[in-house]
Amino acid sequence: MATSPKIVVDHLSVNYRDVQALRNVNLTVRPGKLVGIFGPNGAGKSTLIKAMLGLMPVVTGRVTYGDNTLAHQLDRVAYVPQRSQIDWTFPATVWDVVMMGRVKKTGWFNRFSASSRQIATAALERVGMLEFRDRPIGALSGGQQQRVFLARALAQEAEIFCFDEPFVGVDQKTETVLFNIFRELAQAGKIVMVINHDLGESITNFDQLILLNKELIAAGPRDWVLTRDNMTRAYGGHVGFFGHVA
């Protein structure tokens, strides 16, 4: 591939039960950068990702990846939902969950191949969870559960990675593992989008920010987005945050 494809969001508006959730969002997400999606609660961060992937209907707008609609190329996408969306009492082991990342590539009616099992093993190793492979997922800590989901995303061998609030309720070790792997994915030329709402020190890990509050406030390089004016428009009032204010 001469140039890696990028995601283009063109005039995207989304309603949630008759209430406008996102208004006229235009932005471009390029590979190779670690992109953080920020905004207050209810700003439409999850909605943006779901609408981009075609997981919820849009009112207007188009989202393309390369030459085609992104929603038609979901086999290139790995999406990790918020941890609170998952029933952690589900009867599955760590291994079962990571192998879910190989379902699409394995194809209908086929059994998992030896190479799929190797990929899953390597993914578990990479997030430091290999020794837990036979544990029921309900017996893990929040951070461990999040790392298992990251391993599943890695096993999908996707080009586009979307993580919804991966840092909620995780330990410091997991946060480090997550950021290291996000960085490696970006450096490997993947598109990496991470929804976050923590404006603390960790924000400096991101190269690019998308700042939302029902509409796009700003998108671009971190220091360019993190202006006092933008933050006031997104969060209202005065917000203490870490970073270089231009």
Partner 1 sequence: MSLELAVLDWFFEPLQFAFMQRSLAVAVMVGIICSVVGSYLMVQRLALLGDAISHSVLPGLAIAFWLGVNIFVGAFIAGVISTVIIGWIHTRSPIKEDAAMGIVFSAFFALGITLITTIQKDNKIDLNHFLFGNILGVTPGDVRDTAIIAVLVLIAVFLLYKELLFYSFDPLGAQAGGLPTGLLNAGLMVLIALTVVASMKVVGVILVLSLLIAPGATAYLLVPRLHQVMLLGATIGVFSSVSGMYLSYYVNLPSGPAIVMVVSALFALSFLLSPQHGVLVGPRRGRPWQTLQALLPSKGSRP
Binding footprint of partner 1 on the chain (CB under 8 A): 17, 50, 53, 55, 74-75, 77-81, 83-88, 90-93, 96-97, 99-101, 103-104, 106, 108-109, 112, 136, 140-145, 152, 156, 162, 169, 171
* Residue with smaller CB distance to partner 1, 92 or 130: 92
Q: How far is the CB of 196 from partner 1 (least distance, A)?
A: 16
Q: How far is the CB of 131 from partner 1 (least distance, A)?
A: 17
What's the full length of the chain, in residues? 246
Q: For residue 71, count other CB atoms closer than 10 A to its CB.
A: 17
* Residue with smaller CB distance to partner 1, 45 or 50: 50
Q: Computed over its alpha carbons, how large is the radius of gyration of the chain?
A: 18
For strand 19-29 and strand 68-69, is the pairing parallel, antiparallel, or unpaired? unpaired
Can you read off the two tokens belonging to residue 169?
């309720």
* Residue with smaller CB distance to partner 1, 84 or 232: 84
Q: How far is the CB of 53 from partner 1 (least distance, A)?
A: 5
Residue 152 near residue 123 (C-beta atoms within 8 A): yes
Element containing residue 233 per DSSP (H, E): helix 228-235
Q: How far is the CB of 206 from partner 1 (least distance, A)?
A: 22
* Residue with smaller CB distance to partner 1, 67 or 87: 87
Q: How far is the CB of 134 from partner 1 (least distance, A)?
A: 9
* Residue with smaller CB distance to partner 1, 100 or 130: 100
Q: For residue 115, count other CB atoms closer than 10 A to its CB.
A: 10
Q: How far is the CB of 169 from partner 1 (least distance, A)?
A: 5
* Residue with smaller CB distance to partner 1, 14 or 218: 14
Three-state SS string across 1-34, please?
Answer: CCCCCCEEEEEEEEEECCEEEEEEEEEEECCCCE
Residue 220 — left, alpha, or beta (φ > 0 → left; ψ -120 to 50 → alpha)?
left
Residue 222: alpha-carbon gap to chain centroid: 17
